[in-house]
């Protein structure tokens, strides 16, 4: 049985339409008009147990709406969702026992309570057996370095501390499926690293299925083998990260260290100079039109080159291209 | 059921710990409700000094009505105060989402999330009022009387909670349901006095539409030996029906919940 199975999922929001000003507000009161906003437009996907999937897209692409339907917070307008074989909305309680959710920047804990008190209450809500809870608390306190934080109220924690606490609170009932919505937003590199390690560890030792939405592609590269990209409510890519790089890493960069710059360069079609300084020359080329060796040969025949390096396509640059519509070009070509 | 009771205890215990951090808040909250009640009561007392007979009702009799509704209201205030602010505090901020991903009933979670200590002030005032009323009245005491009072207060509390529940569901569409809740809730002010003083329309309203009458006037009348027919015993039924309807409406609203942006 797949961990998550989504078929033709849709969510339409009805947003009341108002003319500006008080008159508009009054008019809307008596004759409400609604705009339809299709947030998620017929997506289908399947996630196997133990997979870690990155779910990315620009703001407003439909990521959070999808996650909310997967967690049972929102009821789909159309299509079906099955998480561990259940409909998360209809079977809310049973579903909630097996899933954990980190909702971006809002805490699921009690603001004024010490962390350990919040965790105790969560343990009661999830009916975690006392002995098991002790074990997990010790384990998480060690791996997330929470020992000194246990007696601190959430409101007194820094962002990084809060997120570590949040992960403990989300995983303490050993969910089979975990949704992490922006778990590393605003965190420094060290905390990010620790959080990624913790997630990796959970996946490795417990086989936890992880759906990760993030704008930090470092998270994706570190954690996920598979990426799903959503844009305007549609899935525009679903596959391994390596495929993205192969298929969409259309542009590569090549940098030359030169003795002296040339006034004008004759370059193969598809190659452009992106930076020219006295001693370095950076070029970008479209590898569907030319190759690194053609570009290098052309440059070397015109300039005195001492050294050169070819940059691997970097995921965030590629994703930026995809967001900007490179994918549609690709499909059209 | 047992599980929910235990959980409620756990929630309550934890809140007590966090309230302990804000002791001043608690004291101010509870004493301000006591002061508000005292001011209301003073008004009644001043009026009664001038007109000892209020449309056939004596001071202690009025006090009985007032005490019963205050106790009913305090139950709502203590245990279900979050129904007031579900839209403003929980839905608008997105905090409501976390109730929906926990393995307990979201309505229970909402209600258990806050025990309102201010309501304790109301409860104490209610006890004093009721005590004073009973002391001033010459009731025939049987074991049935305290049981009847308990039942009346509990069903009155149920009616208050149910009406707030029904009105708070509108926050699934309009975000802030406080004005809607207030519009209905404020009708309980009529029910602080004998319904016989009002035109028929008001009496009907408070019996059939917004039945706060069952939280005060009808049980008080029964205790005083006035004949109000089946209305004397209708309170629990009214409360049960309204609570059931409220819960169904809540579930309907939940299906239409669309959350906030992110």
List the CATH number of the domain containing A198. Answer: 3.40.50.300
Strand A251-258 and strand A280-286: pairing? antiparallel
Could you tell me the pLDDT band of residue A172, with boundaries at 50, 70 and 90?
A: very high
Tokens 């707030």 belong to: B164
Q: Would you say residue A324 lies in a domain? A: no
Three-state SS sequence of A106-126: CCCCCCCCEHHHHHHHHHHHC
DSSP letter for A135, please.
H
Same domain, yes or no: A184 and A300: no
Q: Would you say residue B101 lies in a domain? A: yes
Of the candidate ranges A218-222, B74-78, B165-169, the one whose mean pLDDT is the lowest: A218-222
The answer to whether B10 faces chain A, any CB pair under 8 Å, is yes
State the pLDDT at residue A333: 46
pLDDT digits (tens, 9 = 90+) for B79-99: 999 999 999 899 988 889 999
- As beta bridge partners, residue A78 has A10
Could you tell me the pLDDT band of residue B262, with boundaries at 50, 70 and 90?
A: very low
Q: Would you say residue B260 lies in a domain? A: no
What range defines the domain where residue A259 resides? 250-312
How many angstroms separate the CA atoms of B175 and B168, rounded?
Answer: 9
Q: Would you say residue A138 lies in a domain? A: yes
Contacts 24+ apart (CB under 8 A), B18-26: B18/A110, B18/A112, B18/A113, B18/A153, B19/B117, B21/A112, B21/A153, B22/A112, B26/B117
What residue in A sits closest to B105 (Cα-Cα)? Answer: A93
The answer to whether B175 faces chain A, any CB pair under 8 Å, is no
Percent of chain B exceeding pLDDT 90 equals: 63
| Nearest Cα residue to A319 out of A199, A255, A224, A254 | A224
Q: Who among A89, A103, A126 is closest to B98 (CB)?
A: A103
State the pLDDT at residue A87: 95
The answer to whether B22 faces chain A, any CB pair under 8 Å, is yes
Which residues from A are below 8 Å from B101, CB to CB? 71-73, 96, 99, 101
Q: Rounded mean pLDDT of A268-282? A: 86
Which chain B residues in 67-96 lie under 8 Å from chain A, judged by CB atoms?
Answer: 93-95
Domain boundary among A245, A265, A289: A245
CA A178-A181-A186 angle, to 5 degrees, is 130
Which residues from A are below 8 Å from B259, CB to CB? 68, 73-74
Looking at the structure of chain A, the number of domains it has is 2
Which chain B residues in 103-122 lie under 8 Å from chain A, judged by CB atoms?
Answer: 103-106
Looking at the structure of chain B, the number of domains it has is 1
Which residues from B are below 8 Å from A103, CB to CB? 94, 97-98
pLDDT digits (tens, 9 = 90+) for A75-100: 999 999 999 999 999 999 999 999 99
What residue in A sits closest to B19 (Cα-Cα)? Answer: A112
Same domain, yes or no: A261 and A112: no
What residue in B sits closest to A111 (Cα-Cα)? Answer: B18
What residue in A sits closest to B101 (Cα-Cα)? Answer: A96
State the pLDDT at residue B43: 82
Same domain, yes or no: A173 and A42: yes
Which residues from A are below 8 Å from B94, CB to CB? 103, 106
In the predicted structure, residue A141 carries a pLDDT above the cut 70: yes
Same domain, yes or no: A180 and A77: yes
Structure tokens at B88: 């403003």
How many angstroms separate the CA atoms of B127 and A107, rounded?
Answer: 39
* Dihedral over Cα of A87, A91, A97, A103: its sign: positive
Same domain, yes or no: A171 and A281: no
How many angstroms separate the CA atoms of A13 and A6, rounded?
Answer: 19
The answer to whether B179 faces chain A, any CB pair under 8 Å, is no
To the nearest whole Å, the CA of B211 is away from the closest chain A CA by 29
Q: Rounded mean pLDDT of B220-231? A: 93
Same domain, yes or no: A238 and A266: no
Same domain, yes or no: A254 and A183: no
To the nearest whole Å, the CA of B184 is away from the closest chain A CA by 20
Q: Would you say residue B262 lies in a domain? A: no
Q: Who among A71, A94, A120 is closest to B101 (CB)?
A: A71
How many angstroms separate the CA atoms of B55 and B42, rounded?
Answer: 19
Which residues from B are below 8 Å from A120, CB to CB? 10, 14
Of the candidate ranges A154-168, A189-203, A210-224, B23-37, the one whose mean pLDDT is the lowest: B23-37
| Nearest Cα residue to B131 out of B77, B70, B64 | B64
CA-based end-to-end distance of chain A: 38
Same domain, yes or no: A185 and A57: yes
* C-alpha separations of B15 from B4, B20, B93, B113, B120 in Å: 16, 8, 21, 8, 15
Q: Rounded mean pLDDT of B170-194? A: 92
Same domain, yes or no: A219 and A275: no
The answer to whether B23 faces chain A, any CB pair under 8 Å, is no
What range defines the domain where residue B25 resides? 2-255
Q: Would you say residue A258 lies in a domain? A: yes
| Cβ–Cβ below 8 Å for A112 and B98 | no
How many angstroms separate the CA atoms of B170 and B111, rounded?
Answer: 17
Q: Would you say residue A201 lies in a domain? A: yes
Same domain, yes or no: A77 and A160: yes
In the predicted structure, residue A62 carries a pLDDT above the cut 50: yes
| Cβ–Cβ below 8 Å for B103 and A97 | yes
Same domain, yes or no: A144 and A258: no
pLDDT digits (tens, 9 = 90+) for A234-255: 998 899 988 887 777 777 888 8
To the nearest whole Å, the CA of A39 is away from the closest chain B CA by 11
pLDDT digits (tens, 9 = 90+) for A12-50: 988 777 677 777 767 766 777 778 889 999 999 999 999
In the predicted structure, residue B260 carries a pLDDT above the cut 80: no
């Amino acid at each position: 049985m797949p961990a998550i199975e989504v078929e033709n999922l849709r969510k339409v929001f009805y947003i009341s339409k108002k003319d500006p000003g008080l008159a508009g507000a009054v008019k809307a009161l008596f004759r409400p008009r609604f705009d339809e906003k299709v947030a998620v437009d017929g997506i289908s996907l399947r996630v196997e147990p133990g997979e870690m999937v990155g779910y990315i897209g620009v703001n407003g692409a439909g990521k959070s709406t999808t996650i909310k339907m997967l967690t049972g917070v929102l009821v789909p307008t159309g299509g079906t969702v099955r998480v561990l074989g259940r409909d998360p909305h209809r079977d809310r309680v049973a579903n909630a026992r097996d899933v954990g959710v980190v909702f971006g920047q809002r805490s699921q804990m009690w603001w004024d309570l010490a962390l350990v008190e919040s965790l105790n209450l969560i343990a009661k809500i999830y009916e975690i057996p006392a002995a098991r809870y002790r074990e997990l608390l010790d384990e998480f306190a060690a791996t997330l370095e929470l020992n000194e934080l246990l007696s601190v109220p959430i409101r007194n924690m820094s962002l990084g501390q809060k997120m570590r606490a949040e992960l403990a609170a989300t995983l303490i009932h050993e969910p089979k499926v975990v949704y992490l919505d922006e778990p590393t937003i605003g965190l420094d590199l060290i905390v990010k690293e620790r959080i990624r390690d913790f997630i990796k560890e959970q996946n490795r030792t417990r086989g936890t299925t992880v759906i990760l939405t993030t704008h930090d592609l470092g998270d994706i590269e570190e954690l996920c083998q598979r990426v799903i990209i959503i844009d305007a409510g549609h899935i525009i890519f679903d596959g391994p990260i390596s495929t993205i790089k192969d298929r969409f890493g259309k542009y590569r960069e090549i940098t030359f260290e030169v003795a002296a710059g040339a006034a004008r360069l004759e370059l193969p079609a598809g190659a452009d100079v992106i930076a020219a300084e006295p001693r370095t020359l950076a070029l970008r080329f479209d590898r569907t039109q030319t190759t690194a060796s053609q570009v290098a040969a052309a440059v070397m025949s015109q300039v005195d080159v001492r050294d050169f390096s070819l940059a691997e396509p970097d995921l965030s640059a590629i994703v930026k291209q995809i967001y900007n519509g490179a994918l549609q070009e690709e499909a059209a070509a | 059921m047992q599980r929910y009771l235990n959980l409620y205890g756990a929630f309550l215990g934890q809140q007590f710990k966090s309230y302990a951090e804000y002791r001043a808040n608690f004291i101010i909250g509870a004493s301000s409700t006591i002061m508000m009640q005292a001011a209301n009561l003073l008004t009644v007392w001043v009026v009664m000094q001038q007109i000892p007979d209020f449309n056939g009702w004596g001071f202690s009799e009025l006090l009985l009505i007032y005490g019963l509704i205050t106790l009913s209201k305090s139950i709502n205030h203590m245990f279900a105060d979050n129904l007031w602010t579900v839209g403003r505090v929980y839905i608008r901020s997105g905090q409501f989402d976390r109730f929906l991903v926990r393995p307990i009933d979201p309505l229970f979670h909402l209600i258990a999330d806050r025990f309102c200590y201010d309501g304790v002030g109301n409860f104490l005032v209610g006890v004093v009022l009721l005590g004073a009323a009973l002391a001033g009245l010459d009731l025939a005491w049987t074991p049935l009387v305290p049981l009847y009072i308990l039942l009346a207060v509990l069903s009155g509390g149920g009616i208050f909670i149910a009406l707030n529940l029904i009105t708070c569901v509108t926050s699934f569409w309009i975000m802030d349901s406080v004005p809607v809740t207030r519009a209905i809730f404020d009708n309980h002010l009529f029910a602080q006095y004998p319904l016989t003083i009002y035109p028929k329309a008001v009496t009907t309203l408070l019996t059939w539409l917004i039945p706060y009458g069952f939280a005060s006037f009808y049980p008080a009348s029964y205790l005083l030996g006035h004949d109000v027919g089946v209305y004397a015993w209708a309170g629990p039924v009214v409360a049960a029906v309204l609570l059931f309807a409220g819960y169904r409406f809540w579930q309907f609203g939940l299906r239409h919940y669309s959350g906030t942006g992110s």
